[in-house]
């Protein structure tokens, strides 16, 4: 048995997927055969539609689901955190203290949260491919594709009124038009204290066993009234059993499972060390600043959490790529496909695509330092939003967005950068007109660190650096920019956005002037990057097509922060010679607290200490399954065969970080909160019986 498991790690890709619960499947191409063969379970179209339409995407980067007829949506606390942070102020600390709205009128409106529900999927591959004539240059192909995509999105939006996104699947092998119902009036109903949601803090993050109630409940509104979703999940108060088959419906962010070895080598050798350097630096800077006062800590909390989370995530991923055993499986995966291509008259010429990928990466590498610092800065409206790598300041983000909006919006829709297309307009404005508070001192801390990185990365003699720094030290320049800009003022931002390029130029605002100053070089690097990316996209498309032809259509595409179905069994694993059981219970929380003398981050909130005797301590708390998940799946509902909500994904263990590039079920596990713990806690800890009644359908 041990031997088989080892084999399944090393040669997972060489075996049929029937042996492993692998795959992030499309709802329009579900793993029916695998489920039937291995579990004798066949999801019906109705079963799939119900789960699809009960699933919710959070534009802040996560997943969730409808859980009541009156629009209740459950997600993770760490997905809702962005909103909790934004609606908090010095009077109300929703992050630290949690929240419960006893009645609908008490529900707190979020500032810029957008939820999307996938309503339909349409294949538009042929139309997009037809728009790109063979023999065109990569730049022209990119432009043609951007144009036709913009056109398709616009038409769909005008016809249906739904948010319409063309989604690229199989690295360009397939294009699907996804139509989403949008909800932008979303109100906070319930959140536990962050200490309960994130019990064990960074030390326990990505670890198991866990004792976290990582949930947050919102209510979607339409026209000022609670939404009445057609589909919502029925609640199961018991949670799943050890060994039970479960399903996960959510939005895995990004996997690299089709990546060429040459590109993975670049990730391992350059990109990840770069990111680890950045995250380590920010963790230290934000951590040190947070330690100076409570208020500092509150202001930086969400960013620091994101940084620590990413540091662990990329650290785990890098660790896996540096494992020669895993690297060999990656090489074997590619070799297997290369061998098959080589044996095929039709696909042998496509082998050259691997060389084009390598060459494109080499060409990109030349502009990468500039691209990373000055341009790696796509909008928050973009699902793949990450904190910027350079000019780490919300105020610079506003400046960049306003300068670019002024230049891009007058262009024809299809020629704009994607983040300024009409289809993103509402999201862009939501971001730009956020009422989120801005703190000068915090902006200065982040920007000082970024400017130090700028100067040391490019050198004090670099002409662009000299212009950007204006003869000042990093701290003096950051202070000058943050103190001097008026972009903190929402009305001012609106005025500039409406006034366009002329208003932006006339503003004489130091942050806008900085954004303008670096705009040319940033665009230049982006144009090289995008052209090479286009080349790679085509090359990967060719490989993907070869793969379809040679390996059949039973495979699933890489994750793209669009809705996917995964499945897996609740089961433990072995670690350092110990068997880790799959379920924890509420008693375990109190034990872990006692072991750590209740010191942060292992302190237990007073409410939980007070209510301990009322609780059934045998209630399951968290559980693991071997479902194939990744970042973005946070908040995904876990359902049983009856399509009942039995849990909510909130983490993967550290061994699961390798899932980014290769599947393994040896130790990798998805970690969920058990529905039983949620019911028990709402009723007995938070006096939220009415809310529990609503989600349990007792109302």
Binding residues for a second copy, rule: CB under 8 A, are: 201-203, 268-269, 272-273, 276-277, 279-281, 283-284, 287-288, 291-294, 311-312, 318-319, 322-325, 327, 452, 455-457, 459-460, 471-476, 596-597, 599-601
Nearby residues of 400 by Cβ (< 8 Å), 6 or more positions away: 377, 391, 515, 519
Give 111 or 452: the residue with its C-beta nearer to a second copy.
452
Q: Which residues contact 627 (CB under 8 A, 6 or more apart)?
A: 21, 246, 247, 248, 566, 567, 568, 638, 649, 670
In this structure, what token pair is assigned to residue 246? 């479960």
Q: How many C-alpha atoms does 666 have within 13 Å on its Cβ side?
A: 23
Name the minimum Å distance from CB 629 to a second copy.
23
Strand pairing report for 644-652 and 234-235: parallel
At closest approach, how far in Å is the CB of 155 from a second copy?
A: 47
Report, in Å, the least distance between residue 450 CB and a second copy.
Answer: 13
Nearer to a second copy (CB atom), residue 95 or residue 150: 95
| Least gap, CB of 473 to a second copy (angstroms) | 4
Residue 620, H or E segment:
strand 620-625
CB nearer a second copy, residue 274 or residue 492? 274
C-alpha–C-alpha distance, residues 359 and 405, integer Å: 33
**Residue 50 beta carbon to a second copy: minimum distance, rounded to whole angstroms:** 42
CB of 105 to a second copy, least distance (A): 33
Nearer to a second copy, 462 or 524 (CB): 462
Residues 6+ apart with CB under 8 A from 372: 274, 389, 390
Q: What are the two backbone dihedrals, phi and then psi, of residue 119, each rounded to the nearest 5 degrees?
A: -100, -30
State the CB neighbour count (10 A cutoff) for residue 412: 8
Pick 432 or 654: Cβ nearer a second copy? 654
Q: Which residue's CB is nearer to a second copy, number 285 or number 638? A: 285
Closest C-alpha to 635, from 57, 241, 26? 57
Q: What are phi and psi of 343, to 5 degrees?
A: -85, 0
CB of 51 to a second copy, least distance (A): 37
* Beta carbon of residue 329, minimum distance to a second copy (angstroms, whole number): 13
**Looking at beta carbons only, is 137 or 293 nearer to a second copy?**
293
**Of the candidates 20, 44, 19, 18, the residue with the CA atom closest to the CA atom of residue 33:** 18
Between 286 and 496, name the residue whose CB sits nearer to a second copy. Answer: 286
CA 419 to chain centre: 17
- Minimum CB distance to a second copy smaller for 96 or for 409: 96
Take residue 195 and report the two structure tokens written for it.
């200490």
What sections of 194-258 are H helices per DSSP? Answer: 194-197, 201-204
Distances (CA, A) of 566 to 45, 244, 556, 602: 16, 14, 10, 32
In the complex, the smallest distance separating the C-beta of residue 515 from a second copy, rounded to whole angstroms, is: 22
Kindly state the smallest distance separating residue 599's Cβ from a second copy, in Å.
8
Element (H, E) at 645: strand 644-652
Is 451 or 504 the residue whose CB approaches a second copy more closely?
A: 451
In the complex, least distance from residue 313 CB atom to a second copy, rounded to whole angstroms: 13
Beta-strand runs (E) in 197-268: 216-222, 225-226, 234-235, 245-250
Helix extents (H) in 232-381: 261-266, 272-290, 294-321, 324-342, 352-370
Nearer to a second copy, 461 or 491 (CB): 461
* Minimum distance from residue 312 beta carbon to a second copy (Å): 8
Nearer to a second copy, 37 or 473 (CB): 473
Distance of closest approach, residue 263 Cβ to a second copy, in angstroms: 15
Q: Closest CB to a second copy among 287 and 581?
A: 287
Enter the tokens of residue 313: 């995530």
Looking at residue 570, what DSSP letter applies?
Answer: B
Write the DSSP symbol of residue 29.
Answer: B
* Shortest Å distance, C-beta 96 to a second copy: 12
Nearer to a second copy by C-beta: 293 or 335? 293
Supply 52's token pair: 């699809």
Give least dist CB 167 to a second copy, A: 34
Count of CB atoms situated within 10 Å of the CB of 137: 11
Spatial distance between the Cα atoms of 122 and 117, rounded to a whole number of angstroms:
15
By C-beta, is 260 or 682 nearer to a second copy?
Answer: 260
Phi-psi region of 431 (alpha: psi -120 to 50; beta: other; left: phi over 0): alpha
Q: Which residues are CB-contacts of 156 (< 8 A; sequence separation ≥ 6)?
A: 162, 164, 177, 179
């Amino acid at each position: 048995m041990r031997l088989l498991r080892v084999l399944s790690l090393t040669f997972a890709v060489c075996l049929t997927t029937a042996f492993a619960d692998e795959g992030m499947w499309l709802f329009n191409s579900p793993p029916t055969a695998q489920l039937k063969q291995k579990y004798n379970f066949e999801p019906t179209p109705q079963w799939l539609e119900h789960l699809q339409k009960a699933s919710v995407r959070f534009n802040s980067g996560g997943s969730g689901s409808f859980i009541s007829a009156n629009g209740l949506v459950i997600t993770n606390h760490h997905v809702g955190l962005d909103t909790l942070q934004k609606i908090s102020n010095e009077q109300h600390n929703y992050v630290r203290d949690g929240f419960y709205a006893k009645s609908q009128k008490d529900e707190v409106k979020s500032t810029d949260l957008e939820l999307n529900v996938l309503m339909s999927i349409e294949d538009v591959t042929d139309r997009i491919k037809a728009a790109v004539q063979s023999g065109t240059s990569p730049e022209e192909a990119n432009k043609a594709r951007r144009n036709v995509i913009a056109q398709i999105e616009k038409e769909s939006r005008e016809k249906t009124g739904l948010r319409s996104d063309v989604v690229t699947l199989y690295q360009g092998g397939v294009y699907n038009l996804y139509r989403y119902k949008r909800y932008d009036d979303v109100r906070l109903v319930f959140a536990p204290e962050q200490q309960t949601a994130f019990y064990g803090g960074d030390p326990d993050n990505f670890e198991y066993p866990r004792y976290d109630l990582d949930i947050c409940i919102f209510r979607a509104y339409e026209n000022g009234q609670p939404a009445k979703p057609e589909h919502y999940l029925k609640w199961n108060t018991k949670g799943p059993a050890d060994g039970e088959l479960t399903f996960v419906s959510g939005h895995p962010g990004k996997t690299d499972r089709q990546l060429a070895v040459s590109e993975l080598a670049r990730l391992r050798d350059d990109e990840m060390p770069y990111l680890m350097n950045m995250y380590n630096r920010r963790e230290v800077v934000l951590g040190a600043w947070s330690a100076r006062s409570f208020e500092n800590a509150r202001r930086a909390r969400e960013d620091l959490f994101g940084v620590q989370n990413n540091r662990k995530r990329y650290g785990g991923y890098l660790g896996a790529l540096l494992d020669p055993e895993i690297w060999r499986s990656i090489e074997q995966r590619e070799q297997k496909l290369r061998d098959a291509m080589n044996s095929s008259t039709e696909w042998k010429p496509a082998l050259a695509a691997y060389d084009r990928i390598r060459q494109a990466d080499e060409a990109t590498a030349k502009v990468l330092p500039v691209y990373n610092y000055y341009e790696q800065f796509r909008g928050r409206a973009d699902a793949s939003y990450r904190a910027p790598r350079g000019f780490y300041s919300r105020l610079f983000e506003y400046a960049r967005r306003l300068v670019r909006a002024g230049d891009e919006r007058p262009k024809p829709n299809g020629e704009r950068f994607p983040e300024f297309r009409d289809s993103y307009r509402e999201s862009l404005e939501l971001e730009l007109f956020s009422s989120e508070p801005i703190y000068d001192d915090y902006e200065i801390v982040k920007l000082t660190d970024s400017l130090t990185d700028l100067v040391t990365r490019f050198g004090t003699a670099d002409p662009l650096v000299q212009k950007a720094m204006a003869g000042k030290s990093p701290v003096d320049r950051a202070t000058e920019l943050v103190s001097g800009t008026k972009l903190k003022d929402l009305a001012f931002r609106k005025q500039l956005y409406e006034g366009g390029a002329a208003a932006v130029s006339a503003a004489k605002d130091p942050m806008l002037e900085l954004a303008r100053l670096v705009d040319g070089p940033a665009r230049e690097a982006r144009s090289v990057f995008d052209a090479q990316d286009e080349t790679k996209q085509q090359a990967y498309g060719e490989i993907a097509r070869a793969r379809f032809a040679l390996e059949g259509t039973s495979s699933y595409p890489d994750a793209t922060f669009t809705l996917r179905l995964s499945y897996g069994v609740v089961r433990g694993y072995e670690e350092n010679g110990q068997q880790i059981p799959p379920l924890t219970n509420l008693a375990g929380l109190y034990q872990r607290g006692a072991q750590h003398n209740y010191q942060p981050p292992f302190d237990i909130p007073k409410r939980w200490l007070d209510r301990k005797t009322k609780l059934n301590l045998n209630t399951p708390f968290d559980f693991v399954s071997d479902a194939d998940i990744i970042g973005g799946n946070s908040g995904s509902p876990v359902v049983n065969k009856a399509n009942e909500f039995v849990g909510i994904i909130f983490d993967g263990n550290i061994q699961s970080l390798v899932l980014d590039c290769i599947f393994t079920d040896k130790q990798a596990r998805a970690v969920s909160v058990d529905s039983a713990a949620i019911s028990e806690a709402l009723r007995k800890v938070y006096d939220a019986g009415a809310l529990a009644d609503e989600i349990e359908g007792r109302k």
